[in-house]
Structures are given as C-alpha cells and as structure tokens.
Structure 1
Amino acid sequence: MAKNYYEITLALAGICQSARLVQQLAHQGHCDSDALHVSLNSVIDLNPGSTAGVYGGSEANLKLGLETLLGVLNASSRQGPGAELTRYTLSLMVLERKLAASKGAMDTLGERIAGLQRQLEHFDLESDTLLNAMAGIYVDVISPLGPRIQVTGSPAVLQSPQIQAKVRATLLAGIRSAVLWHQVGGGRLQLMFSRNRLSTQARQILAHC
C-alpha cells in the first residue's frame, strides 16, 4: 500500500512542533502560545475526523512544526539548537514505541486522558490545573518507560515548577503526535531514506499556510 506522505508529514510536524516548544520554554521561559494551544489540545481530542483534525483542522496550526521539521531534516550540525531539536524528536519516537509495546501503559494513558476531558469542563486548557494534570500523566505513565528525555536550557528557567509542568505537558503532546505518526504509516526508516520526499511535502504544505 502506498504511503500517504501528506498525513505522515503532518504528524511528523506535530512531533517537531512539540520539540520546538520544549526548546523555547527551556531556554526562554515562554513559547509560541498559539502553537502551544494547538499541541496541548491534540492530547485531548481523541476522536478527530482526520490527521489535520488532530491539530484543529488547519495546516497553518502546524506552521512552527513544519518549519522545525525542515530544519531537522536538513540539519548537518551535531551540536547547537538543531541537534537539540533532532534529539527531542527522536527521543519522543523511541518513547512512543515503548508505550505501544506496553498494553498496561496504553490503558492507563487512555484512562488518564479521559480524566483530562472531565477537568476541561471546569478549567481552561492552559490553566495550571490542566497543565499540572498533563505533566503528571507524562511523569507517571511515559517517563517510566525510559530512556528519559534530558531537557537542556537555562537552569534558572528550568527551576520554575510552572515551566517544568509546561515542558512535560508539551512532551506528552509530542507523544500524542508520535502515536498518530505510526497510525498513519510513519516509521523511523523514512527519516533515513525518504528525507527528500518529506522535505518536499513539508514545503508544499507550508506554501498553503
């Protein structure tokens, strides 16, 4: 069956968007608020009508992720900001595979996300309550699967409990996109052998944004 590179690229951009937001939060203490909202919301919408539907139904909602994806695909340096983004992206993919292999973790994740949906009736998506709840899911369900993602940035920024919660909630969103990526036919080999095709697709989608 032919791979749907449009859907694969969108989901991959979702992973990269989370990676970029984590990087922004860790270094600066703030991030692109619109992109953050889209990524966090993707965790809670469990029955989207399409791949784009996971991200609010608009390709433009993944602009930051698509730009980051192009940077990751074309990164030549093994150091600096680009290497950090690549490491976060690949680490999220590794964790998702461990999650997929653990039925217990998958079941717990589903139950905990259903709990988030109930909390949304009383609190905003980006309230401390919801962010802490998402961070808690990441710490309790995803982190123990290992290996842990080492987030690098400003030590002063990363000491803030609020930033820590946002970073973990954003990593949970990255796992959501990694799950989606596999569901639509994504795989690690594409990053090695289909980079040009993914780059072309990402540029085409960005041209519409």
Structure 2
Amino acid sequence: MKDRVIALAALLQAIKLVQQMANNGQAETQPLAACIDSLFRFDADSAEAVYGNPRELDSGLRRLIAQLDGGDRDTAQTRMAMNVLSLERRFIGNDAAVAAVQKTLADIQRQREDLGPTHPTILSRLGELYAAQISPLGARVLVQGNPVYLGQPDVVGEVRASLLAALRAAVLWRQVGGSYWDFLLSRRAMTQTARELLG
C-alpha cells in the first residue's frame, strides 16, 4: 500500500506542477526536482527509492488526501490523472516507444548530472522526448491554463516534461500492484497511509 500511495502522490504532484506552469508560467522548484529526478532512477527497488524521502512528495500527498477525502477535490486534477493512467496503458503496450524513452533518458542523464534536474536544457529535452514518443500514442492529456503561458515554447516544454514525470509515476503505480479497484476499495487505507507519510 505504501508504494502505491507514493506513486499516486507523485502522479498528483506532477499534475499540480503542470497546472502551476499552465496558469502561472512557472512551478515550485523542489517538488519539480523530485518529479524530474524520478525519471532517471531506472532500477530502484521500491517507490520510496524512486522518490527518496517521502517528504519530497509533500504537495502530492496533500493532494492525494484531498482527492480521496473529497474535502477539497479538484475535478481537473482527477480528469488529468485518469488521462495519464489511460496513457500509461498505451505506452507500456508500445515496445518501440518504451525503448526509445529509455534510450533517450539514459542520454539525457549525463547532462542532468552536470546541470541538475530543473535546468531549462533538461526540461526542454524531456519535453521534446514527450512530444516525440508519447504524444503520438493518443489519449492526450488536455492541459488548460493561461493562453499567454501556454503559447510560450519554454513553458510548453516544461509542461510536457512534467507530464512525462506523471507518466513515470503511473507506470510505477502499476508496477507496485496499483489498479482502479484501489479507488473503489482502498480509499480509506490510502488516505491513512498518506497521512502517516506526511506525519
């Protein structure tokens, strides 16, 4: 359960970052770094190993509690999360896309070590990777926001980089046993686990 909660929190954190970029033209650096770094942790043993300290996912854990509890549910985030989970099925079913993404991430990894995960060059390359390999799969994730920012190539690249991180979280969620039944049968357990990780 813990690994599934971490993966879902990471998914929601990445989606929240997408919303921040789309509406404000920028996002919080630390939550963004945690999401982007996850793309380069290829052989981690657990969800916690992918994201490091669960406190790196504070905003995602808070969003998960809000979404599951219904007290402060964001329907746009729910819709985007479901779209990403649907996109994950198409991605995993396309061996060529999976191989291309893995190969490109391994190449970007060298630059990331020098520049850091949130450097504009890294975010731009990740955005290009998303556009080249993920967008053609269909099941597009509709991003709404301020047209001024969504018309800027740099912001669009950062949005796509964050969507790639969201997709990474969705893949991880499936890998650790996540399914749509969780949302029907395990809401209370997931909420409790998220609170414990925050506490």
Name the structure 1 match of 2:139: 147
Mapping of residues 28-177 of structure 1, within 5 Å: 28-55=24-51, 57-75=52-70, 82-177=74-169
CA distance in 1, matches of 2:77, 2:28: 16
8 Å Cα contact 1:39/1:170 also seen in 2: yes
Q: TM-score, normalised by structure 1?
A: 0.89
Over the aligned positions, Cα root-mean-square deviation in angstroms equals 1.6
Percent of residue pairs identical: 33
Per the TM alignment, residue 30 of structure 1 is displaced from its structure 2 partner at its CA by: 1.9
The one-character-per-residue Cα deviations of 1:69-126 (angstroms, maximum 9, x if unpaired) are 112223478xxx8011111111111111111111111111111111111322443322
Corresponding residue pairs, total:
199
Q: Report if aligned partners of 2:84, 2:166 keep a CA contact under 8 Å in 1.
A: yes
Given the alignment, which residue of 12, 16, 20 partners 1:16? 12
Task: Provide the rounded CA distance (Å) in 2 between the counterparts of 1:6 and 1:116.
Answer: 30
Q: Is the 8 A contact 2:123 2:157 kept in 1?
A: yes
Please tell me the residue identity of whatever aligns with 1:167: V
- Judge conservation of contact 2:29–2:118 (CA < 8 Å) in 1: no
Amino acid across the alignment from 2:46? S
The one-letter code matched in structure 2 to 1:196 is R
Kept in 2: contact 1:75–1:83 (CA 8 A): no
| In 2, Cα distance between equivalents of 1:156 and 1:75 | 32
Counterparts of 2:114 and 2:57, CA distance in 1: 27
Following superposition, the deviation at residue 160 of structure 1 comes to 1.6
Structure 2: which 5+ runs fail to align? none
TM-score normalised to structure 2 length: 0.94
